[in-house]
């Protein structure tokens, strides 16, 4: 069988909030940070916790947010944009921590404490700390970590599959963003773009919605299904996609 290299369908890598399907309330909170409706960090709130099921885009957004927030604060052009279309134009000062085993105890908290003593020398003056899978931190580390939240120039961005394993004090200092499946209709423009970028006519909304429901909002499953269907159509010389198979059913 011929392999579709040249025509292989690609997913556009997300660059701004518009590239994500988000629950309305989650979008509202993130946009409020970017357009300064919500002063942040301020009033003791300096964290963002992205929580939800596997593959819903938490790590992807967590890695993008330092650039988006930094741009909203340091790039004067950002004020003329819709917050959902702001793209990173800065070089934010970011430390990434996967919080994996072996790097999840009080030592990590101490390391973050030391690092955040440094003053960021870039335009915004903010220092970002991204902590992926933050529920892996031990209880003692979470308690210590809570105590270092509150430096005025530091913004903490965290992800977790298990919000209930996050220290209540950390939650209280954070904006909580539910990344679980939004209404399937919110995915339609993002999925349609995969087809139109590949010069294919997208399937009906009902078919797209069914893919989102079958994938339970997991971008991993949804994009895999969509790309597989689009590649099949390309390979067989079709210009439209009528149905999509699901990799998990």
Ligand X SMILES: Nc1ncnc2c1ncn2[C@@H]1O[C@H](COP(=O)(O)OP(=O)(O)OP(=O)(O)O)[C@@H](O)[C@H]1O
Catalog residues that contact Mg ion under the rule CB under 5 A: 58-59
Q: Binding to ligand X (CB under 6 A): which residues in 30-69? A: 54-60
3-state secondary structure of 68: helix
Residues 6 or more apart whose CB falls under 8 angstroms from that of 2 comprise 235
Q: Is 20 in the site for ligand X (CB under 6 A)?
A: yes
Residue 109 engages ligand X in binding (rule: CB under 6 A): no
**Beta partners for 42?**
45
Among 151, 193, 220, 235, binds ligand X (CB under 6 A): 220
Which distant-in-sequence residues (6+ apart) come within 8 Å of 217 by Cβ? 21, 52, 53, 56, 180, 181, 182
Angle at which helices 106-115 and 139-148 cross, to 10°: 20
> Which one of Mg ion, ligand X, none interacts with residue 20, CB within 5 to 8 A by kind?
ligand X
Closest distance to ligand X from the beta carbon of 116 (Å): 24
- Which of 147, 247 has the CB closer to ligand X? 247
Nearer to ligand X, 28 or 54 (CB): 54
Q: Which stretch binds ligand X (CB under 6 A): 24-32, 80-88, 197-205, 218-226?
A: 218-226
Residues between 146 and 165 that touch ligand X (CB under 6 A): 159, 161
**How far out from the chain centre does Cα 82 lie?**
18
């Amino acid at each position: 069988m011929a392999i579709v290299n040249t025509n292989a369908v690609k997913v556009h890598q997300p660059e701004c909030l518009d590239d994500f399907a988000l629950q309305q309330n989650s979008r509202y909170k993130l946009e409020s940070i970017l357009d300064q409706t919500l002063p942040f960090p301020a009033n003791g709130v300096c964290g963002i916790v992205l929580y939800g099921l596997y593959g819903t885009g938490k790590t992807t957004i967590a890695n993008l947010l330092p650039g988006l927030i930094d741009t909203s604060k340091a790039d004067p052009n950002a004020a003329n944009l819709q917050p959902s279309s702001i793209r990173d134009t800065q070089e934010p000062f970011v430390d990434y921590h996967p919080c994996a085993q072996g790097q999840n105890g009080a030592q990590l908290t101490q390391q973050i404490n030391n690092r955040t003593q440094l003053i960021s020398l870039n335009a915004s003056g903010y220092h970002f700390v991204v902590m992926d899978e933050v529920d892996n931190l031990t209880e003692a580390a979470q308690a210590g970590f809570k105590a270092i939240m509150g430096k005025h120039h530091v913004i903490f961005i965290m992800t977790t599959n298990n919000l209930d394993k996050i220290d209540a004090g950390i939650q209280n200092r954070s904006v909580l963003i539910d990344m679980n499946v939004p209404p399937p209709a919110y995915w339609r423009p993002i999925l349609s773009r995969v087809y139109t970028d590949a010069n294919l006519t997208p399937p009906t909304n009902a078919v797209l919605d069914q893919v989102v429901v079958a994938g339970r909002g997991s971008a991993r499953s949804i994009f895999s299904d969509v790309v597989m269907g689009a590649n099949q159509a390309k390979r067989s010389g079709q210009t439209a996609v009528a149905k999509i198979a699901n990799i998990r059913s």
